[in-house]
Amino acid sequence: MSKLSRRQLLVAGSGTLAMPFISRAAFAGGSSIITSAQARFLPVPALLQPENGDTVTLAMAMARHNFGPGDKTALSAGLNAEYLAPTVHLTKGTDINFKVQNRLGDVTTLHWHGLFVPSVKDGGPHNTIKDGEDWNIKVHIDQPSSTNWFHPHVHQNTAYQAHLGLAGLMIVDDGKDRERGLPRTYGVDDIPLVLQDRRVVEGDNVYAPDGMDLIHGFHGDKLIVNGVMEPQHEVPAGIMRLRLLNGANARIFNLSFEDRRPFHVIASDGGYLEKPVETGILPIGPGERYEVLVDFSKGKTPVTLFTSSDDNGGGEALPLMLFTSHGRKSEITTIPATFDTLSPANSGMAEETRSFFMDDRMMENMQVLMKGMGGGSHGMTHGGGHDGMVHSGRSTEQAGPPMTAASSGMAMAIAGETFDMNRIDVKARLGSYEMWSLTTSGEMQHPFHIHGASFRVLSLDGKAPPAWATGWKDTVLVNETADLLVHFNRQADEKHPFMFHCHTLEHEDLGMMGQFITV
């Protein structure tokens, strides 16, 4: 069988051609702009500022949360919060104790995505915390200034737990942002924006994936920022620093302002770029972080931040949030010209080259779904237009019983194998650089993430990466090919290997994940 496009497969798999390609709200269409009269205010997560030797307690618990106007208060979970978590500020050079309390009623783990820690403290699938138990670890903070995050990573249940709201930010700070001339007052000119989506059915927040949701990753029809739909935030007339995290299970955000004012990208996952990179559109895949400066001293306010279409499945342009101005000047009024120098990165530094195919097993999984259709419930029946891939207006009943990665009969793979907690896929020399060449089937983009290592993107689809993606990263959106120079600078043992995987959480749960140790 020749390779079919995703759309052809969808049509072929549906057994019917009655799937209109609905073109949704045009970009920046008048009705889709948020107005300050109705919008709720953006919640800025509380800030925890532990000092050397302090203990940070993070209690993971079920809760209820209201995402937006007209919505019911829905099932959620958070860490010290009904949804998401406080932001933890970590000073470089300190030792911090984390006490993670699992009060979820189910087994979990808490992974420190982006933090430089040995694998035994990484919070991957091997670091399980049973319900009612605590996990106590001491972490030495020793890495460049950066925005990182934590979220559950439990075997085959990460997507569900993360979607409940179990995620929070960690800011690593080397204390030099004043010298750098950067905005640095949390909540004032430096705010985090956690970008996510929800599927709202009859006012309720529903995570009930069907087979197609597992294949494409679960997309919602409503966007939320810091846990609230279409919020507004008042900013000073000057330079704002936005710490962007794509905390969605699967949605790719393509950010832009209504008036196309530029983002000045100053940092990626692993720390600062050499100088700010100006762009009108900023794509950000699940798990990725970018820090941007935005000038609110010129141009009109209020101004709406949008995301345009996600090729993997959320077809429409949607407003994310509104920035209004309180008119007062901010401390920082100019964009600094340069930051830290980046170390060189080239293929000559690699002592090993490896190739990995991020295998969505599209054909096999579609076949599993089609077989399941005989029962009339699972799989291909959808109420909504499929071009958008967003099942708005479809109730859980219409969708059929939700599927889990384990119950679906589907699987995805990386490097030829579906995830196995008992198999070590790669042994890398501690301290070495390796060239990792990633390929996909081309049907979908996959956000590749590696624990316990940092990389530089040498090429994407055979071309140089965009300038904002040339710094240190741990997650990158792969369309067809990517060449990464990976630095293995954290230690992993056989009992607690590090993970590398697709950060579309449904794909991760389906097995597009492998393990490595350092030797």
Give the binding range for ligand C2O (CB under 6 A) out of 6-14, 308-316, 425-433, 499-507.
499-507
3-state secondary structure (DSSP) of residue 220:
coil
Contact call for residue 451 and ligand C2O (CB under 6 A): yes
Alpha helices in 324-377 (DSSP H): 362-372
Pairing of strands 55-66, 73-79: antiparallel
Pick what 198 binds: ligand C2O, Cu ion, none; C-beta below 5 to 8 Å, kind-dependent: none
Residue choice 111, 219, 264, 473 for contact with ligand C2O (CB under 6 A): 111
Contact mark string toward ligand C2O, 62..101, x via CB under 6 A: ----------------------------------------
Cβ(166)–Cβ(78) below 8 Å: yes
Q: Which residues of 270-295 are buried (b: 16+ CB within 10 A; e: fewer)?
A: bbbbebbbebeebbbbbbbbbbbbbb
Cβ(81)–Cβ(47) below 8 Å: no
Residue choice 225, 362, 507, 517 for contact with Cu ion (CB under 5 A): 507
Least distance in angstroms from the C-beta of 325 to ligand C2O = 34
What are the residues facing 354 on neighbouring strands?
Answer: 436
Helix axes 6-14, 362-372, angle to 10 degrees: 20
Least distance in angstroms from the C-beta of 89 to ligand C2O = 20
Least distance in angstroms from the C-beta of 47 to Cu ion = 22
Cβ(87)–Cβ(458) below 8 Å: no
The set of residues, in sequence order, having a beta carbon less than 8 Å from that of 337 and lying 6+ positions away, is: 275, 276
φ/ψ of 435, rounded to 5, equals: -95, 120
Pick what 219 binds: Cu ion, ligand C2O, none; C-beta below 5 to 8 Å, kind-dependent: none
- Count how many residues are written for the chain: 519
Find the helix or strand (DSSP H, E) in which 298 lies: none
Residue choice 24, 113, 219, 394 for contact with Cu ion (CB under 5 A): 113
Contact call for residue 251 and Cu ion (CB under 5 A): no
Indicate the residue among 123 and 314 with the shorter CB distance to ligand C2O: 123
- Distance (Å, rounded) from C-alpha 71 to C-alpha 75? 12
Cβ(380)–Cβ(389) below 8 Å: no
Indicate the residue among 270 and 287 with the shorter CB distance to ligand C2O: 287
Position with the least CB separation from ligand C2O: 113
Residue choice 65, 446, 473, 490 for contact with Cu ion (CB under 5 A): 446
Indicate the residue among 270 and 379 with the shorter CB distance to Cu ion: 270
Cβ(258)–Cβ(33) below 8 Å: yes
3-state secondary structure (DSSP) of residue 178:
helix
Determine the size of the site formed for Cu ion (CB under 5 A): 6
Contact mark string toward ligand C2O, 261..290, x via CB under 6 A: --------------------------x---
Task: Kindly tell me the burial class for residue 49, based on how many C-beta atoms sit within 10 Å of its own C-beta (0-12, 13-18, 19 or more).
Answer: middle
Reported as half-sphere exposure (CB side, CA atoms, 13 A), residue 463 has a value of: 8
Determine the size of the site formed for ligand C2O (CB under 6 A): 10
Pairing of strands 204-205, 222-225: unpaired
Indicate the residue among 270 and 388 with the shorter CB distance to Cu ion: 270
Give the binding range for ligand C2O (CB under 6 A) out of 127-135, 370-378, 412-420, 497-505.
497-505
Indicate the residue among 42 and 284 with the shorter CB distance to ligand C2O: 284
Give the binding range for Cu ion (CB under 5 A) out of 26-34, 44-52, 111-119, 303-311.
111-119
Indicate the residue among 243 and 451 with the shorter CB distance to ligand C2O: 451
Indicate the residue among 306 and 419 with the shorter CB distance to Cu ion: 419
Tell me, what amino acid is at 238?
A: G
Residue choice 153, 184, 222, 233 for contact with ligand C2O (CB under 6 A): 153
3-state secondary structure (DSSP) of residue 435:
strand
Residue choice 251, 449, 456, 507 for contact with ligand C2O (CB under 6 A): 449
Cβ(166)–Cβ(264) below 8 Å: no
Q: Which residues bind Cu ion (CB under 5 A)?
A: 113, 446, 451, 502, 504, 507
Q: Which residues bind ligand C2O (CB under 6 A)?
A: 111, 113, 151, 153, 287, 449, 451, 499, 501, 503
